[in-house]
């Protein structure tokens, strides 16, 4: 399809009616495509979505690629709680490192004396 040319769009009701008509009247995909004036591959896609995810899947817009970008934003309170927890954990790690260094230093001193 050339750039800038609008594609035909179909409502969820239309897609559902086409798929259900095809299944109830035992039409082949080719017969249904001719009856509804669409390509065989389109009715095939609609039927697959209908069978895999139910009729509601035909009402969802599925053009383009899925976003792999940013994760969804957290609620402000959740984000603040996570930041606070992260700060507490960093302080705890720093404290334990200092404590470990003091214990090792004390052990070295006691070995020198001993």
What is the radius of gyration, based on Cα positions, of the chain?
A: 32
Range of the domain at 49: 12-59
- Both 77 and 45 in a single domain? no
Question: What string of pLDDT tens digits covers the 114 residues of the chain?
Answer: 567 667 778 899 999 999 999 999 999 999 999 999 999 999 999 999 999 889 998 988 777 777 677 777 888 999 999 999 999 999 999 999 999 999 999 999 998 886
88 within a domain of the structure (yes/no) = yes
Count structural domains, the chain. Answer: 2
Cα–Cα distance for residue pair 7/22, rounded to 1 Å: 23
Cβ atoms of 12 and 59 closer than 8 Å: yes
Cβ atoms of 13 and 2 closer than 8 Å: no
Cβ atoms of 18 and 32 closer than 8 Å: yes
Cβ atoms of 46 and 19 closer than 8 Å: yes
- Both 52 and 78 in a single domain? no
pTM greater than 0.75:
no
- Both 27 and 53 in a single domain? yes
- Both 19 and 53 in a single domain? yes
């Amino acid at each position: 399809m050339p750039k800038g040319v609008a594609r035909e769009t179909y409502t969820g009701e239309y897609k559902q009616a086409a798929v259900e008509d095809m299944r109830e009247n035992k039409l082949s995909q080719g017969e249904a495509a001719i009856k509804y004036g669409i390509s065989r591959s389109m009715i095939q896609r609609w039927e697959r979505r209908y069978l895999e995810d139910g009729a509601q899947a035909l009402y969802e817009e599925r053009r383009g690629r899925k976003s792999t970008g940013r994760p969804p934003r957290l609620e402000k309170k959740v984000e603040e709680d996570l930041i606070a927890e992260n700060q507490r954990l960093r302080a705890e790690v720093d404290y334990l490192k200092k404590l470990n260094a003091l214990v090792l230093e004390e052990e070295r001193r006691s070995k020198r004396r001993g």
